[in-house]
Amino acid sequence: MLTSLLRKMYRLFRYPKVIDPFLSKFTYPIKKNGVLPTLFLNKPSLDHFNYYYFSTNSVNKPLFDKILIANRGEIACRVIRTAKKLGIKSVAVYSEADKHSLHVKMADDAYLIGPAPSSESYLNIDKIIAVAKESSSQAIHPGYGFLSENPNFAERLANEKIIFIGPPASAMISMGSKSESKDIMIAANVPVVPGYHGTNQDPQFLKEQASKIGYPVLIKAIKGGGGKGMRIVNDPSEFEIQLESSKREAIKSFADDQVLIEKYLETPRHVEVQIFADTQGNVVHLFERDCSVQRRHQKILEEAPAPGLSNEIRQELGAKAVAAAKAVNYVGAGTVEFIMDNKDKRFYFMEMNTRLQVEHPVTEMVTSTDLVHWQLEVASGNPLPMTQDELCLDGHAFEARIYAENPENNFLPDTGPLLHIRTPSLSSNIRLETGFEQGDEINVYYDPMIAKLITKGANRTEALRKLRKALQEYEIVGLNTNIEFLKRVFSHPAFIQGEIETGFIKKYETELFAPNPEVSSYVIAQAALSLILKEHQELKKVTIGSFDPYSPWTSYFGYRPNATYERNILFHDQNDDRISADVKYLQDNSFDITINRGKDNSIKFERVTGNWDEAEKQIITDVGGIRFKSRIVMEDNNRIVIFDRVGNLLHS
């Protein structure tokens, strides 16, 4: 009996499998040519399963005891969660602006490294290395951004005998230069966009190359990123102006004004492939992601797999991405980005990001992997957890980036406190990555991304439906966000059909930036009643314990001797339209509410009733025979936000 039990336990940890909570036995879900390397721990509900990976290699080296995360925000929290799951201690670093941040609270240890500006904190290599030594951290995870693609940082760590959880510096150098990387890709038989990638920067020579390539062309800074130093040129007459503009931005952003010239695809898609490599020479791809919907050349939503691709194209994309990684002896997590012509589906190498991408969760969702765990395994000297044959796609996933920004003002970043946050209900198929809590503040020093909302479904339609519902449940008050804009994108017929390209927002800007619909009179009635009920509740708090708590002035709402309680409340909605609400209290504790939108445009609701729930900040009303349940958030600046199926209303 004991021998049989020990044999089962050995097989459980030696080979990945699933514990079925309903069958109460071990099952082996075969996916393609391998076993799905995931252990589902027995939980009360399938919606709350946690994913754990157990290596199939019995001679693996031990993982680190302690790592330092040289980053902040959601990616720092993301790395800390996996570290905790694996029993690895985590060390956070933080600036003075981040002393109360979530990643500081989550880490086992946290060290202040300087003032708010990144150059004095998160980009200060000497301070970060000093903290790593003081905290006895064996390795440093750079996250993304900041020092994640800095070869000098990787080399310094190697000299200090601290492991960099990322690729070798040589790979960063090769792939960090757009011109050098193109030459490497050509040698590796990876398709590249026709263009000039040489060192001759004479303006007249570059203009001649543009004419040979054929307009329109794209001018790109060789060390660019995030759309900086990128200019589209449609005609020879504007070439010199755009070249000068590109070089000016490149020198400011990257201290290097060298550019390359490429053919500009007019209906492009941004398709990228997640690759992973270990120190034993193994390289795999974890399929592709589509990141085509962008604003200001920066991604705002991603999905995996890319819609509308045949299996043949998918396999070819993966093979070319693996070839690209092998060409630079890559190690760790990386992303090979391709630009794809949406007409003929031909694709061309664009660049390689030598780090974990912001959008990596969609890949994790459709491959049942933990890519941070993979990074830790590889950095520890272990082989990749899975072979290419064991990897397979399962379902479809979306990621929506929640930004503090104003889409109606050219997506201008916003700052301010997060006065109210209410997140969607989470499960194994609805995931939220964030580095902020209610009460935190978005400041001017760092990227304005608040969170990433990720959903998974059996197919694209189901995943999109879950995402739309989750966005409807997501509430943020205190500053402008792109949530409402994302709802419009995900509800657009072209997006639903998978007809996406990098010019999606520009192409459909009329629909995506249409004026806000008129706020429903039902919503205005709720807003008016919520203000009155909340004021009465506050009044009751003040009078509790008074000399006469049973006074009709306070115990009966709307009590006025020989008079009827009436109130006029003025509102301004999202379109700044002026709306007034006349509220009259009736003796049966109901209200008559008349909504006025100008001359000869009014509607009256009779005998409206409502209850204010202070704990949930919610009002439950009966308006015109219809029962509503809405969340109300009141700000100090006389702004009231109502969350329901309609939207929000401003009160002043």
> 278 - beta bridge partners?
none
How many angstroms separate the CA atoms of 355 and 332, rounded? 8
CA angle at 364 for the pair 273 and 280, rounded to the nearest 5°: 65
Count of residues making up the chain: 652
Strands 30-31 and 25-27 come out as unpaired
460 catalytic residue (yes or no): no
DSSP string, 267-280: SEEEEEEEEEE-TT
Q: What is the rounded end-to-end Cα distance, in angstroms, of the chain? A: 75
Question: Is residue 113 a contact partner of residue 121, using CB atoms and an 8 Å limit?
Answer: yes
Q: Check residue 47 and report its DSSP letter.
A: G
Question: Is residue 595 a contact partner of residue 581, using CB atoms and an 8 Å limit?
Answer: yes
Q: Check residue 423 and report its DSSP letter.
A: P
- All residues at 6 or more sequence positions from 652 whose CB lies less than 8 Å from its CB, including other chains: 570, 571, 572, 638, 639
Question: Is residue 320 a contact partner of residue 303, using CB atoms and an 8 Å limit?
Answer: no
Nearest to 308 by CA among 286, 287, 290, 321: 290
- Alpha helix (H) ranges present in 380-520? 460-473, 483-491, 493-496, 504-507, 509-512
Question: Is residue 113 a contact partner of residue 107, using CB atoms and an 8 Å limit?
Answer: no
How many angstroms separate the CA atoms of 598 and 336, rounded? 57
CA dihedral for 427, 428, 429, 434, sign (positive or negative): positive
How many angstroms separate the CA atoms of 224 and 464, rounded? 32
How many angstroms separate the CA atoms of 554 and 421, rounded? 33
The token pair at 497 is 């059909």
How many angstroms separate the CA atoms of 487 and 400, rounded? 10
- Estimate to the nearest angstrom the gap between the alpha carbon of 27 and the chain centroid: 34
Question: What's the farthest any 2 CA atoms get from each other in the chain?
Answer: 93
How many angstroms separate the CA atoms of 401 and 481, rounded? 10
How many angstroms separate the CA atoms of 238 and 604, rounded? 60
The helix (H) or strand (E) run that includes residue 208 is helix 203-213
Question: Is residue 103 a contact partner of residue 76, using CB atoms and an 8 Å limit?
Answer: yes
- All residues at 6 or more sequence positions from 432 whose CB lies less than 8 Å from its CB, including other chains: 423, 424, 426, 451, 452, 453, 454
Q: Which of 355, 401, 431, 631 is catalytic?
A: 355
Nearest to 472 by CA among 453, 457, 459: 453
The helix (H) or strand (E) run that includes residue 124 is none
> 260 - beta bridge partners?
220
How many angstroms separate the CA atoms of 466 and 86, rounded? 30
Strands (E), 175-258: 195-196, 217-221, 231-233
Radius of gyration, CA atoms only, the chain? 29
Q: Which residue has the tokens 């943020």?
A: 476
**Residues carrying an active site annotation:** 355
